[in-house]
Chains A and B, each alone.
Chain A
């Protein structure tokens, strides 16, 4: 089996696919790539199954060397790419000869790049049909470190595409998140709604794959009896401290703090590319009726 040798990594490098949905009843969270769209794009470029495992590279800085000729694609946050020192294009399928060094430089826009390989990665540590590393519970393959050899799998579905994709966008100004209020009708009072609709908040440095923290919204309509209840992906908690926490892929399956609403799934891909200091606004959506 061919593999990719890791020569060095940046701050964090994890194997992620589309996660393990449907097992929250066991306390197992969905996990998976934070920017699912970019993961899927990388796999599409290479003719892989759409959810084949790739490397989620936080802030770049990854150097790898395949032991067989390989076809790779880097998507998500833009970073300079070289093979043996020569520039190669971002967001398209790139051949890397056996023994050549593929280097992802420092991320210049956004936070997370995805290195996909034709066939996908298949390291040990998969659980429940997924290779995603769940940072909250430790399920899934260990974080990638220098010296690792990551086996390449056979999750291809067709031919590679001769095409390119745009890097994930991280607007320089503000990101607007679509928020559906709930689950409780009084989750937000009129003053809270006004605040959310007119002010901008700032992403705090304590954000991670479990939750993205936003400072700057002092809401007051929230109460909770503290009873544990299950939370969907994208739920926004408002604990007493004043920060909002948007629950991302590795969120705990239950929680006891008040929840003010849920961020649209497609906006979570954008959030995955936001760095601390990024300004964030909300746009309130109508609550569906059943």
Chain B
């Protein structure tokens, strides 16, 4: 059994894999993407990965044998060796943002920055898509130098417009479509994050995103 890796049975058709930190979760997600998984889907989040047989046409018994096979492979993983391998650096996707969000000034104040300096910081280097969740195409983006947790709004907005770019916790996110939400909104983009006519989510875990300020 790999050090620090926990395999938690999650109902009869899933296992939740607990990783010690985001770094090992990243490495493990990548390793899983190279394994034969059968009907098991891999859904990464902050420090966990859900191995889930979500297709209801697969019986509980079959789900169990698929999961057992993946669990056996996971037990043989050497996490320390996995995390030594650097993740490949992909060419960043450029996302153009109009920095005119309703929370831009207050967020800049809380960072002790001018709004211009906050925009410079936000566009200063690429962010990485850690995982997707919440709604189709919603990516949770991180950057090594973003370590100051941004509190969510005390009372969430009832409708955040699609394309809104915001911060919450240690993440940056972009709303693919309008939704209620409590993220602090810095600006707005026309970039398509979810293509309901075909491709689906346009960002994937591991992708890099370079924000760029437009008028």
Contact = CB atoms under 8 A, between A and B. Distances in A.
Contacts of A98: none
B133 A252 contact: yes
B190 interface: no
Interface string B197-210: 10011001100000
A26 B136 contact: yes
A227 B45 contact: yes
Nearest to B67: A290
Interface in A28-59: 28, 30, 32, 36, 50-51
Interface in B96-114: none
Given A137-B177, A287-B9, A128 B46 contact: no
A23 B54 CA distance: 9
Size class of the contact patch on chain A: 35 or more
B44 interface: yes
A24 B54 contact: yes
Interface string A223-247: 0000111111111000000000000
Of residues B54, B71, B137, which shows the largest number of chain A Cβ atoms within 10 Å of its Cβ?
B54
B144 interface: no
Interface string A156-170: 000000000000000
B196 A227 contact: no
Contacts of A180: 9, 11-12
Interface in B43-72: 43-50, 52, 54-57, 60, 64, 67-68, 71
A185 B74 CA distance: 20
Contacts of B10: 182-183, 232, 235, 262
B13 interface: yes
Contacts of A85: none
Nearest to B197: A127
Interface in B175-199: 177, 194, 196-197
A24 B9 contact: no
B200 A26 contact: yes
Contact of B14 (A36, A50, A232): A232
A253 B134 CA distance: 6
A143 interface: no
Nearest to A236: B11
Contacts of A26: 132, 136-137, 200-201, 204
Given A25-B41, A28-B201, A231-B50, A253 B133 contact: yes
B9 A182 contact: yes
Nearest to A259: B10
B153 interface: no
Nearest to B64: A288
B9 A21 contact: no
A265 B60 contact: yes
Contacts of B138: 27
A232 B51 CA distance: 9
A290 B71 contact: yes
A147 interface: no
A136 B177 CA distance: 11
Interface string A43-85: 0000000110000000000000000000000000000000000
A36 B45 contact: no
B133 A27 contact: yes
Nearest to A28: B136
17 contacts: A22-B54, A24-B43, A24-B50, A24-B52, A25-B204, A26-B137, A27-B132, A27-B138, A36-B56, A127-B197, A180-B12, A182-B10, A228-B46, A230-B16, A262-B12, A265-B12, A288-B12
Interface of A: 18-19, 21-28, 30, 32, 36, 50-51, 127-128, 136-139, 180, 182-185, 227-235, 252-254, 261-265, 285, 287-290
